[in-house]
């Protein structure tokens, strides 16, 4: 490999399809469009936008992304049947670059218990699906579902037949996260050696993380000759998730000496994209998450700090700026102006419209009066609170008072604004000020919700840190998310509930 040019690996992002299958991670149309555009700016090659046959909402999302997002191949998933494939093409046909991704289970356990089909029937169905897709586009991907538990001889037979039928990418899914890196390496090598027409297709890998080996397995496939990795932002996906895009990309980027591979990913966009997906889905990124976690470049140990002061590379194998973290924490205060805030937001990866900047600036000033210094985490919380909702603010917070004691009943006096009019209610009930805040919002807005999940975290360190509240509520059988940020946890809660209520109202209005 010495002296050879690095091999480019196609990054196939399935955040909007497989990632959205994470429990509670569903996104509305506006959010999907925003994430799709962010993926283009990140530099992914293929965006799997959804499963068009799954629902009218999925079809519309894929269609809108295909017609409006430029800069990546837009892909739709389909089972190997005519209706799925026709529906996928109907959604994709406006995209300048489109791909139909067809799949069919091939392992013995799936053939016997799920499909109840013989091997010959599986091959015929796979060939029929690929052929129909190839009639619409020359970019067809075929996935033998549960490939890593499929017998070698049968897997080779199906792959060869799919390529002969027109598949240009063959994806090898570790559907249940069962394989080890050594097994993945051997399986990809086996396919390259035994399938006579394998040179006519790109070999892809799609790994789940049930045993925590999705990234290692994906990289093992690349070492064996795979040319595409299927992955998601933050590793989200069904069950334990998928291979994390940011981890496979930075592994190849940092250890190019070992992998001899490169990608089209703009690595400095990794952290902003991670934050967007986290905020949009409501799935938080753990602090010690590789590459994009808040502690990924934090050093507390005295020995580590001493080494860092002498030479950064003693304890950091990557520059934080390479993935989108700022090198230093720029402190802003109440005397900082709009231009300084806009510049800091840009440095953190956010492009704000004039209206968004004004909204963030007003909240920034309010927060600056409460805190002496504002750090990057504070700015990120303010910006994400503004851009994450993407819904009209039907109800907004004007003022609140909260009282609570060890043995007394909590009391919340809340004033909200709606269509220019203010409405005030006082509630004395609940298990504490947080519970009372929920009751007060419900009483004023008339929208009843059931809280399914409630989480609060600090955006920065210190006693005056912003408390960011993320909630998941149920209304008439549907689940909605809300986010709020303030130095006061009760206020963060009220803002989060209002964010969810505004989503409910916006969706109800759209349906009516």
Q: How far is CA 450 from CA 229, 358, 480, 482, 497, in A?
A: 39, 33, 10, 13, 11
215 and 180 in contact (C-beta within 8 Å)?
no
Across the range 245-258, mean pLDDT stands at 97
Across the range 403-431, mean pLDDT stands at 91
Write down the pLDDT at residue 109: 94
pTM to 2 decimal places: 0.74
246 part of a folded domain: yes
Write down the pLDDT at residue 329: 45
Query: Is a pLDDT exceeding 50 seen at residue 10?
Result: yes
- Of 48-62, 126-140, 146-160, 405-419, the least confident: 405-419
Alpha-carbon gap, residue 250 to 466, rounded angstroms: 30
165 part of a folded domain: yes
Q: Give bridge partners of residue 402 from the DSSP assignment.
A: 412
| 272 three-class SS | helix
| 424 three-class SS | strand
Alpha-carbon gap, residue 32 to 16, rounded angstroms: 7
389 vs 451, which has greater pLDDT?
451
The number of distinct structural domains making up the chain is 3
- Of 129-138, 148-157, 300-309, 415-424, the least confident: 300-309
Residue 332: domain span: 326-387
Query: Is a pLDDT exceeding 80 seen at residue 147?
Result: yes
292 and 50 in contact (C-beta within 8 Å)?
no
Digit-coded pLDDT (tens) for 86-139:
999 999 999 999 999 999 999 999 999 998 899 999 999 999 999 999 999 999
Write down the pLDDT at residue 78: 98
Digit-coded pLDDT (tens) for 180-228:
999 999 999 999 999 999 999 999 999 999 999 999 999 999 999 999 9
Tokens 């909007």, located at residue:
16
Per-residue confidence at 303, pLDDT binned at 50, 70, 90?
very low
Domain match, 74 and 153 both:
yes
- Of 67-81, 167-181, 360-374, the least confident: 360-374
290 part of a folded domain: no
Domain match, 349 and 402 both:
no
315 part of a folded domain: no
Q: How far is CA 463 from CA 189, 376, 378, 490, in A?
A: 55, 16, 13, 15
Domain match, 376 and 262 both:
no
Alpha-carbon gap, residue 379 to 325, rounded angstroms: 13
* Residue 474 φ/ψ, nearest 5 degrees: -115, 135
Q: Is 93 left (phi over 0), alpha (psi -120 to 50) or beta?
A: alpha
> Does an H or E element contain 346, and which?
helix 338-347
Write down the pLDDT at residue 3: 62
1 part of a folded domain: no
Write down the pLDDT at residue 262: 97
Query: Is a pLDDT exceeding 80 seen at residue 309?
Result: no
Domain match, 364 and 426 both:
no
Digit-coded pLDDT (tens) for 355-369:
888 888 888 888 778
Q: Give me the percent of the chain exceeding a pLDDT of 90.
A: 60
- Other CB atoms within a 10 A radius of the CB of residue 246 amount to 30
Q: State the pairing for strand pair 140-145/98-105.
A: parallel
* Residue 347 φ/ψ, nearest 5 degrees: -65, -30
175 part of a folded domain: yes
Name the burial class of residue 193, with classes exposed (0-12), middle (13-18) and buried (19+) by CB atoms within 10 angstroms of its CB: exposed
Digit-coded pLDDT (tens) for 310-321:
666 666 778 888
Domain match, 175 and 111 both:
yes
Across the range 27-36, mean pLDDT stands at 92
For residues 132-147, one letter each, b for 16 or more C-beta atoms within 10 angstroms of the residue's C-beta and e for the rest, the string is bbbebbebbbbbbbbb
Nearest-CA neighbor of 172 among 194, 146, 205? 205
CATH code: domain of residue 399: 3.30.160.270
308 part of a folded domain: no
Per-residue confidence at 55, pLDDT binned at 50, 70, 90?
very high
Across the range 398-411, mean pLDDT stands at 90
Digit-coded pLDDT (tens) for 252-290:
999 999 999 999 999 999 999 998 999 888 888 888 899
Domain match, 377 and 415 both:
no
Digit-coded pLDDT (tens) for 163-172:
999 999 999 9
Q: Give bridge partners of residue 231 from the DSSP assignment.
A: 13
Domain match, 247 and 188 both:
yes
Domain match, 137 and 105 both:
yes
Across the range 133-156, mean pLDDT stands at 97
Q: How far is CA 234 from CA 68, 215, 237, 329, in A?
A: 25, 12, 9, 23
Write down the pLDDT at residue 442: 93
Domain match, 144 and 235 both:
yes
Write down the pLDDT at residue 301: 45
297 part of a folded domain: no
Mean pLDDT, the chain, integer:
88
Domain match, 370 and 407 both:
no
Domain match, 47 and 155 both:
yes
408-416, long-range: CB < 8 A, 24+ apart: 410/435, 410/436, 411/436, 412/436, 412/437, 412/439, 412/440, 412/490, 413/440, 414/440, 414/441, 414/444, 414/494, 416/441, 416/444, 416/445, 416/498
- Other CB atoms within a 10 A radius of the CB of residue 431 amount to 10
């Amino acid at each position: 490999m010495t002296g050879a040019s690095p091999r480019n690996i196609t990054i196939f992002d399935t955040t909007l399809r497989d990632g959205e299958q994470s429990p509670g991670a569903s996104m509305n149309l506006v959010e999907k469009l925003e994430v799709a555009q962010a993926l283009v700016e990140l530099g992914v090659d293929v965006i799997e936008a959804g499963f068009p046959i799954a629902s009218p909402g999925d079809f519309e999302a894929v269609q809108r992304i295909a017609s409006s997002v430029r800069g990546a191949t837009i892909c739709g998933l389909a089972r190997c049947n005519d209706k799925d494939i026709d529906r996928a093409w109907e959604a994709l046909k406006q995209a300048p670059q489109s791909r139909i991704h067809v799949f069919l289970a091939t392992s013995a356990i799936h053939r016997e218990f799920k499909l109840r089909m013989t091997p010959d029937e599986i091959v015929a169905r796979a060939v029929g699906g690929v052929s129909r897709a190839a009639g619409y586009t020359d970019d067809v991907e075929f996935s033998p579902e549960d490939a890593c538990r499929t017998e070698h001889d049968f897997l080779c037979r199906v792959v060869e037949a799919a390529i002969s039928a027109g598949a240009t990418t063959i994806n090898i899914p570790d559907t249940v996260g069962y394989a080890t890196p050594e097994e993945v390496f051997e399986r990809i090598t086996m396919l390259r050696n035994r399938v006579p027409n394998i040179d006519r297709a790109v070999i892809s890998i799609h790994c789940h993380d049930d045993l925590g080996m999705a990234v290692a397995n994906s990289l093992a496939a690349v070492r064996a000759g795979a040319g595409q990795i299927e992955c998601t932002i933050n590793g989200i996906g069904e069950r334990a998730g998928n291979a994390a895009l940011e981890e496979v990309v930075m592994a190849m980027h940092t250890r190019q000496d070992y992998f001899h591979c490169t990608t089209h990913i703009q690595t400095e966009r990794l952290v902003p994209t991670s934050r967007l997906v986290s905020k949009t889905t409501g799935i938080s990124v753990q602090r010690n998450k590789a590459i994009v976690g808040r502690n990924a470049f934090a050093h507390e140990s005295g020995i580590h700090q001493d080494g860092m002061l002498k030479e950064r590379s003693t304890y950091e194998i990557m520059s934080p700026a390479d993935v989108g973290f700022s090198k230093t924490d720029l402190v802003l205060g109440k005397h900082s102006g709009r231009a300084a805030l806009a510049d800091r937001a840009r440095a953190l990866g956010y492009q704000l419209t004039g209206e968004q900047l004004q909204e963030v600036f007003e909240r920034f000033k309010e927060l600056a009066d409460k805190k002496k210094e504002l750090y990057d985490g504070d700015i990120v919380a303010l910006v994400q609170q503004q851009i994450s909702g993407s819904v009209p603010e039907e109800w907004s917070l004007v003022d609140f008072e909260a009282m609570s004691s060890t043995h007394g009943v909590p009391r919340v006096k809340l004033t909200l604004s709606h269509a220019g009019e203010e409405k005030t209610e006082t509630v004395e009930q609940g298990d504490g000020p947080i519970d009372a805040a929920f009751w007060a919002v419900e009483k004023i807005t008339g929208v009843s919700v059931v809280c399914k999940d409630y989480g609060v975290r600090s955006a920065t360190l210190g006693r005056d840190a912003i408390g960011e509240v993320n909630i998941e509520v149920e209304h008439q059988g549907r689940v909605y998310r809300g986010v709020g940020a303030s130095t006061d946890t009760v206020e963060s809660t009220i803002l989060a509930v209002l964010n969810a209520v505004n989503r409910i109202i916006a969706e109800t209005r759209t349906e009516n």
